[in-house]
Amino acid sequence: MHKRTFIKSGILGIFAFLLPKKARSLEYYPMPSDKKWAVLYCTGCGSARDAAIWISEGMDGIANVFDVRENPDLSQYDHIVIGGAIRGGKTSQELQDYVAGNKETLKRKIRGYFAVC
């Protein structure tokens, strides 16, 4: 690798980390739908994010995918699938806190759960 290319890549990498958290977050909107499905996930290493995207793709892309750490507004969704990574028999604290804090919104909307190890 040339020195100039290395420096350019390094500078771009540094600026990518300086972007606001909201700009870096994953919001995956494959295909709009009237069915209003959402897939929520919380991941540590990325495997739950991959699983959430695969679930949406398996549903022909009708579900929007959100990271719970971004605190998405779920009032417009009718059906929700929730999941995350399991470590030591538990999901992440962020996922537990989000579900506990949005219990009323989620009460009649949850249609499925998923877990990755």
Chain-wide mean pLDDT for the chain? 82
CA angle 108, 102, 43 (to 5 degrees): 105
CATH of region 21-116, choose from 3.40.640.10, 3.40.190.10, 3.40.50.360, 3.20.20.70: 3.40.50.360
Structure tokens at 108: 């009649």
- 12, pLDDT greater than 80: no
pLDDT of residue 36: 87
Q: Tens of pLDDT along 70-114?
A: 999 988 899 999 999 998 888 899 999 999 999 988 988 999 999
Burial of residue 49 (number of CB atoms within 10 Å: 0-12, 13-18, 19+): buried
pLDDT of residue 88: 87
Domain boundaries, the chain: 21-116
pLDDT of residue 59: 87
Q: What percent of the chain has pLDDT over 90?
A: 44
